[in-house]
Amino acid sequence: MIKFEHSVFALPFAMTGALLAWRDEAFSRAGLWVKLGWIVVAMVAARSVAMAFNRVLDADIDARNPRTKSRHLPAGLLSRRFAWGFIALWGLVFLFAARELNPLCLKLAPVALAIVMIYSFTKRFTAFSHLVLGFCLGIAPAAAWIAMRGSLDPRILWLTAAVTLWTAGFDIIYSCQDYAFDVQTGLYSVPQRFGIATALWIARALHVGMLVCLLALVRSFALGPVAVAGVAAVAGLLAWEHRLVKADDLSRVDAAFFTMNGYVSVIFFVFWAADIFLKLGPLKLDPLK
């Protein structure tokens, strides 16, 4: 019901937020690995709640859509009762992880769960549900910063904005597959409202906006050339992603959605983590010291 690639999109950006917070804290070792571990647990838990809730809420819609009718709930492979139990279990895991991080994380945890669950309703009343989904993933790096520092630094919101625009862009591309179904059933999406060709241009514009936000983030944190190279690598991958999809040929949407965006998040993290660790210095990398 929930695939690994559904979680890999936002996790590298969350870990980037955590590393930037660690750098801003002068590379303090106190509780570092414990914090990172609980951040990963919280990310997996929140994503599990969000995906499962979306599957439950959309089960009837999925059953009518030829593309999604084989999903676990409409196909009868899993029951709604199991899905609700799954949501409750991972919701509790998320709250526990937030409590283990710091008091502010625990206070904001119900808000975070509400945000990631509200998205599932938005396609019923707004064509800009893609931006809501983007924000659901975009809060991850800001949340990771809070987990590391116990407070929020406005500079990290550049990364929230970047992830929001990136996610919204690739979700628009993915939703082009359901253009005819959305028109028929009255569900809202950018392709349904503007047509596939215009929707793809909107997706491109959002991804340009992402790159602008990343460059602003580089400047805000005074990052080095390796981070800038990471932005360039992301730009190249996004350009290739948009070459895979055309208004009259959506046959490679899955490759653009899953494969290319998985590469975007992981490669971004590798470059930015390298930039951060280069500033740390080789003699300070021993976690036992």
Inside any domain, residue 228: yes
Inside any domain, residue 272: yes
Inside any domain, residue 231: yes
Q: What is the pTM assigned to this prediction? A: 0.93
Inside any domain, residue 62: yes
Domain membership of residue 242 as a residue range? 4-281
Inside any domain, residue 289: no
CA distance 23 to 36: 14
Least Cα distance to 268 among 276, 258, 256, 257 occurs for: 276
Q: In this structure, what CATH number is given to the domain that contains residue 42? A: 1.10.357.140
Inside any domain, residue 101: yes
Q: How many domains does the chain have?
A: 1
pLDDT digits (tens), the chain, 289 positions = 776 666 677 899 999 999 999 999 888 888 899 999 999 999 999 999 999 999 999 999 999 999 999 999 999 999 999 999 999 999 999 999 999 999 999 999 999 999 999 999 999 999 999 999 999 999 999 999 999 999 999 999 999 999 999 999 999 999 999 999 999 999 999 999 999 999 999 999 999 999 999 999 999 999 999 999 999 999 999 999 999 999 999 988 887 777 788 889 999 999 999 999 987 764 454 444 4
Inside any domain, residue 220: yes
